[in-house]
């Protein structure tokens, strides 16, 4: 159970990772190609965690970096690519050549992963979905099963619940209790938060509780299930955060080239992760000019009237 009574869960990234991610933990840093908390991934590398089971629908650059750093023994996923660019070479090196160490894979389709989170979130024994028929995905993953529908419509595929030890989710804002608001792509963040034993939320802004209460429809994750709140501006760089910053596509393209050589990746990790004290140091090293280029023009929605009833 999370520390629900605690009213102030604001901690540093170092404290949050030290408290909730241990060697051998299963960790889901989620967010569908955006809201990817690179800051948390880098801190896990910096704290030299080992034998993690990394869980993420789209492993993206952050898991490529963590796997190159030797943090993981297993990956649970549904699409392994550098989105819109190409391959994830570090993961491929681990899978194809065992460098720096072998990596066990457990794979699903996207809806299968979403279903695993949904079953985990509502503490159900499985999630039924119309997928996998006639494919080899069933052959290589014994956890995907076909059942007879008890109501007689034929076969249906099922996937088991997934309950990560810890979910790490990036968002625009939260209050100090961890009530978290997200807008833009909602992905699977709600399901993975409720599925996980512990939740760390990482936000661009920490706001007063009144800001949250003024717009309750936007609250995706309640503080009730949140263990730690980390204030980390640009914590999802180089991925997108709706309304705050764009993807730094040059970084994604540069990684495509650099990551093809393990030695170059080791050098990159030394310079950009181990060589820096924290994410604030990373942001300083990047420089404000580069970050300013990623800021979108404003596009405001009309405000809504919730009405006051008393």
- Rule CB under 8 A: say whether 134 interacts with other proteins: yes
| Site size with other proteins, rule: CB under 8 A | 53
Instruction: Determine which residue in the list 6, 10, 74, 83 makes contact with other proteins, applying CB under 8 A.
Output: 83
Q: Which lies closer to other proteins via its Cβ, residue 63 or residue 77?
A: 77
Instruction: Determine which residue in the list 65, 247, 259, 269 makes contact with other proteins, applying CB under 8 A.
Output: 247
Instruction: Give yes or no for a cis peptide into 159 (omega within 30° of 0).
Output: no
- Rule CB under 8 A: say whether 131 interacts with other proteins: yes
- Rule CB under 8 A: say whether 109 interacts with other proteins: yes
Alpha-carbon distance 50 to 259, whole Å? 21
- Rule CB under 8 A: say whether 38 interacts with other proteins: no
Q: Which lies closer to other proteins via its Cβ, residue 15 or residue 122?
A: 122
Which range of residues in 8-16, 108-116, 262-270, 277-285 is near other proteins by CB under 8 A? Answer: 108-116
Alpha-carbon distance 165 to 21, whole Å? 8
Instruction: Determine which residue in the list 140, 147, 224, 264 makes contact with other proteins, applying CB under 8 A.
Output: 140
Q: How far is the CB of 67 from other proteins (least distance, A)?
A: 12
Quick one: tokens of 107? 């794979």
Instruction: Determine which residue in the list 70, 100, 160, 243 makes contact with other proteins, applying CB under 8 A.
Output: 243
Alpha-carbon distance 175 to 187, whole Å? 21
Alpha-carbon distance 259 to 262, whole Å? 7
Quick one: tokens of 263? 């030695």
- Are 146 and 155 in contact by the 8 Å Cβ rule? The answer is yes
Task: Give me the 277-306 binding string for other proteins, x by CB under 8 A, dash otherwise.
Answer: -------------------x--x-------
- Rule CB under 8 A: say whether 68 interacts with other proteins: no
- Side by side, the strands of the sheet bearing 127-129 are 127-129, 155-159, 145-148
Which range of residues in 44-52, 66-74, 178-186, 194-202 is near other proteins by CB under 8 A? Answer: 178-186
Instruction: Determine which residue in the list 152, 154, 263, 287 makes contact with other proteins, applying CB under 8 A.
Output: 154
Alpha-carbon distance 69 to 273, whole Å? 10
Q: Catalogue the long-range contacts made by 261-267 (C-beta closer than 8 Å, 24 or more residues apart).
A: 262/68, 262/90, 262/93, 262/99, 262/100, 265/65, 265/68, 265/90, 266/68
Alpha-carbon distance 286 to 97, whole Å? 32
Which range of residues in 27-35, 41-49, 209-217, 260-268 is near other proteins by CB under 8 A? Answer: 27-35
In the complex, the residues that contact other proteins under the rule CB under 8 A are 32-34, 58, 77-81, 83-84, 87, 91-92, 95-96, 107-112, 114-115, 118, 129-137, 140, 154-155, 184-188, 190-191, 240, 242-243, 246-247, 249, 252, 296, 299
């Amino acid at each position: 159970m999370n520390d629900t009574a605690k009213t102030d869960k604001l901690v540093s990234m170092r404290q949050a990772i030290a408290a909730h991610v241990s060697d051998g933990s299963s960790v889901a840093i989620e967010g569908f190609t955006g809201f990817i908390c690179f800051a948390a991934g880098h801190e896990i590398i910096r704290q030299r965690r080992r034998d993690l089971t990394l869980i993420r629908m789209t492993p993206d650059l952050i898991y490529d970096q963590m796997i190159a750093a030797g943090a993981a023994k297993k990956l649970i996923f549904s699409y392994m690519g550098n989105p819109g660019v190409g391959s994830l070479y570090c993961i491929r090196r681990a899978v194809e050549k065992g460098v720096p160490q072998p990596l066990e894979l457990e794979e699903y389709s996207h809806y299968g992963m979403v279903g695993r989170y949904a079953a985990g979130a509502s503490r159900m024994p499985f999630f039924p979905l119309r997928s996998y028929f006639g494919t080899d995905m069933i052959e290589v993953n014994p956890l995907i099963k076909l059942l007879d529908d008890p109501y007689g419509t034929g076969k249906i595929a099922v996937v088991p619940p997934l309950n990560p030890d810890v979910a790490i989710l990036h968002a625009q804002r939260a209050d100090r209790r961890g009530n978290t608001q997200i807008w833009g792509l909602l992905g699977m963040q709600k399901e993975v938060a409720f599925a996980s034993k512990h939740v760390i939320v990482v936000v661009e802004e920490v706001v007063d509780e009144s800001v949250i209460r003024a717009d309750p429809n936007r609250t995706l994750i309640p503080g009730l299930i949140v263990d730690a709140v980390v204030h980390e501006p640009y914590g999802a760089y180089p991925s997108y955060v709706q309304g705050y910053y764009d993807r730094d596509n040059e970084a994604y393209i540069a990684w495509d080239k650099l990551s093809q050589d393990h030695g170059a990746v080791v050098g990159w990790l030394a310079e950009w992760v181990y060589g820096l004290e924290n994410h604030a140091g990373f942001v300083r090293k990047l420089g404000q000019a580069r970050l300013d280029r990623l800021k979108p023009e404003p596009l405001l929605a009309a405000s809504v009237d919730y009405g006051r009833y008393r």
